[in-house]
């Protein structure tokens, strides 16, 4: 073997090593990006929970209802349904609707990353959707009204929830 052949083998080995390294780095970048998206999603979910919890505090809820009544004296959509069909006060209806929004926010955060859940976790999540949003029931009825308004905004999430509700 001469030095030219050894050099050529070395160049080929070096090129393969660079290619393997690039593939490895691309995989790491993709994984890192996915973890960053998950962390951001979790942070948004936690912030939303904190805001909803804050909104459910008695004094804040009372002020919210007073302000809401000043701008929208007659409740619409889910609030109207809760007040008329369930005979809830505006405060009670607001509390129920805020809890629905908490559930909905949870679903909105999980559906885009549902493929990374383990099979038992996914089954548990799908069961959560069925238990919360299937009709008849308070949240199922709210979901029916809610999905009409949110279908375009959350089309993939509404499609996922609808598919789960239609299964089993």
CA distances from 84 to 7, 61, 77, 78, 81 (A): 84, 20, 11, 10, 5
The confidence score (pLDDT) of residue 144 equals 87
* DSSP category for residue 1: -
pTM of the model: 0.68
Reported as a single tens digit per residue, the pLDDT across 105-149 is 889 888 988 888 899 999 999 999 999 998 788 899 899 888 887
The confidence score (pLDDT) of residue 164 equals 94
The confidence score (pLDDT) of residue 35 equals 84
**Long-range interactions of 156-160: CB distance < 8 A, separation 24+:** 156/111, 156/112, 157/107, 157/108, 157/111, 157/112, 160/111, 160/114
The confidence score (pLDDT) of residue 46 equals 79
Radius of gyration of the chain (CA): 25
Please give the Cα distance from 84 to 136 (Å, whole number).
16
The confidence score (pLDDT) of residue 162 equals 92
- pLDDT of residue 1 exceeding 70: no
Reported as a single tens digit per residue, the pLDDT across 86-102 is 999 988 998 898 888 88
Contact criterion met (CB below 8 Å) for 100 and 146: yes
Taking alpha carbons only, the member of 125, 108, 127, 97 closest to residue 44 is 108
- pLDDT of residue 48 exceeding 80: no
Listed range (39-43, 58-62, 133-137, 143-147) with the worst mean pLDDT: 39-43
């Amino acid at each position: 073997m001469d030095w030219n052949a050894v050099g050529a083998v070395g160049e080929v080995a070096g090129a393969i090593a660079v290619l393997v390294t690039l593939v490895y780095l691309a995989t790491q970048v993709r994984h890192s990006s996915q973890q960053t998206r998950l962390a951001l999603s979790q942070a948004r979910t936690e912030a939303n929970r904190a805001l909803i919890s804050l909104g459910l505090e008695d004094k804040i809820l009372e002020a919210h209802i007073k302000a809401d009544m000043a701008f929208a004296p007659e409740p619409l959509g889910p609030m109207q349904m809760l007040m008329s069909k369930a005979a809830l006060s505006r405060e009670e209806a607001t509390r129920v609707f805020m809890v629905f929004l908490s559930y909905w926010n949870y679903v909105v955060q999980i559906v885009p990353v549902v493929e990374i859940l383990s099979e038992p976790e996914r089954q548990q999540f799908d069961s959560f959707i069925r238990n919360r949003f299937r009709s008849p029931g308070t949240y199922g009825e709210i979901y029916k009204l809610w999905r009409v308004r949110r279908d375009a905004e959350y089309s993939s999430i509404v499609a996922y929830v609808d598919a789960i509700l239609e299964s089993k």
